[in-house]
Amino acid sequence: MEYRILERTQLKLPVITFGAWAAGGWMWGGNDRKEAMEAIRASYDAGVTAIDTAPIYGQGLSEEITGEAIRGIPRDRVQVLTKFGLRWDAASGEFYFNSKDNAGNDIAIYKYSGKESIIRECEDSLRRLGTDYIDLYQIHWPDVTTPISESMEAVEQLIRQGKVRYAGVCNYSAAQMAEAEKTIALASNQVPYSMVKRDIEADVVPYCLEHHKGILAYSPLQRGLLTGKMKPGHVFAPGDHRSGMYHFSEENIRRTNTFLEKIRPIAADKKATLGQLVLRWTSDQPGITVALAGARNAAQAVENAGAASLKITAEEMTFINKALQELVLVK
């Protein structure tokens, strides 16, 4: 496994970090708790020593599964990354969207990062995770109802108390990062980034490079689209959020697969899967520190971890990028 240190911190993260959204089942058509834990443990055995989770993933379930999966591993050998600021149990802040929990009950999701809410969320996360500190604590989404300074002051307090090691943000613009840094030193920004979603290259990547901030790229496989395993006509399980995304229209699946076939020989030459090649491409892009990759079972986890051992030559990178220029998805 290849590891990268978040600049100006002591966090050494695997270039492929485990993303535990699907482990919670929520918005992924449910989950298998046993398989989710096996995926996390197999990932760790393959050198993936960091897990990114959040309270909203299964309304606490992902954090509980993460905590159970890492029980028995010396705490200083695993990095736990979690979040705050998406509430399903209190109607406060900015309404985000309506959803259903894993039991099929209606829930309303709010973006809220008031100080007292963050303090409470941290205590709940520590309990579910079975730990006394969080390595990287990240605001999940910007909250327009709360001053950024108030949210960051709460995290700074948690750092002083030893409950959090470093502060991060998710889905922040460069301007929002700059505002947050008036209060606290940020370690990173977790943002969506993939071969077919590259808008952060305009402002977030330049800002992070200039100010020595890490970028944790989530959805690098575009939620499965870039694995090459999806075919036109794919039917998602009930409750799977991908069914309504334009990326997964029949036409876009067809266009994406045409692109993937162009680069398949590169993967084959390396005895790698398309997914592994895509993950390695992602982690090799300027400014990207790690790629977050989820897995529903142990086999997927091991496959994802294997991407770290790939090497893409300059010539191969040029070929891939040229082929990418010809891929246009229909919105």
Residue in this structure with the two tokens 């040229």, named with its chain if needed: 322
List the single range of 101-105, 241-245, 303-307 with lowest mean pLDDT: 241-245
pTM of the entire predicted model = 0.92
> Is 57 considered catalytic here?
yes
The C-alpha atoms of residue 28 and residue 32 are separated, in whole angstroms, by 11
At 224 the pLDDT is 85
What is the CATH T-level fold of the domain 3-221+273-311, as seen in this structure?
Answer: TIM Barrel (3.20.20)
Q: Which range is least confidently modeled, 22-31, 96-105, 133-142, 249-258? A: 22-31
Average pLDDT of span 131-148? 97
Angle at 320 between CA 319 and CA 322, to 5 degrees: 65
The amino acid present at 4, given as its one-letter code, is R
Give yes or no for a contact between 233 and 239, defined as CB atoms under 8 angstroms apart.
no
Catalytic residue among 44, 57, 110, 218: 57
Token pair, residue 115, equals 């100080």
CB atoms within 10 A of CB 237: 10
The residues with which 194 forms a beta bridge, in sequence order, are 197
Q: Is pLDDT at 248 greater than 90 in this prediction?
A: no
Distance CA 124, CA 271 (A): 43
